[in-house]
Structure 1
Amino acid sequence: MAEHELDVSLLPHGLRLFVVTMGLDDAVKALSEEQGNLFFIPDKPTPNHEFCKRFSVDMARALSNHAGSTYQIPKLDKILIQLRNIKIRQEFKQGASVQDLVRRYKLTRQMINIIVTSEANGAPILVGDAHKQMELKL
């Protein structure tokens, strides 16, 4: 994976479908506008159906297991976290200090260190609550 690419394998299945089917930019745009909304997924998708107008016939087909029922559009936060982490790693490689990144992204030093070292160790950082907090003795 190149440093600027999103690792779709780390995304929840619903988000992964949107990114793979629509492409990252289109998925981010559509999800940011429609996240959390309910849509009816047609059994036989056509370009005139409300869901297909917003997301595409291909996306309706990708959600075929939800055909004939309503579907809640997933939240975008997992994608945004990964994109933020990619940007943090790029800025760190270009010379930004950890403290600069702490101020800019409003994250702890610990989290910045986890983000910038995860790629160096060959392991992508997991999104959400997958990382453990370090216990610091006072």
Structure 2
Amino acid sequence: MLNLTMVKNLNQQLIIFMVAAFFISCSGRNNKAVIKFSIDSTSIILNNLGEASLVQVKNVYSKNLDSSNLLSVIALPGELDSLQDEIVVKGHYLLQGDSILFKPDQPFKKNKRYLVESFIGAEFATVSKLFSGTIKQNLQPQKQILKR
């Protein structure tokens, strides 16, 4: 009788472990978008969007992607700049296939650094973060600093 109880207990623990391992392995994929300058450095390209992120962007794009806060580009001050202000770069967004292009109203300046923040595909919590205890209270954007 004792052995049967131990076997049932062991089976339950094994099933729980297998289910947890399945969820951790499924959520461990790296689905971060790739943020980079175009070849001629006249625009910023965001690609490698997952299917769910692409649906999210298409829904926002149909309403007006320029007015959304899914993506922002900020000109960072240089070390020798007298004003240490971060300036939001104005421009417009284009959805091309599975990529988003940001074209600034004014051309990007050579040797200037730009911070790109994207909330596309951002998640509050994943199963792996739940198990590891690293859940944050607010939504964290993907950040990339690009230098022209």
Say yes or no: TM over 0.5.
Answer: no
TM-score per shorter chain, which class?
under 0.3
Higher helix share: 1
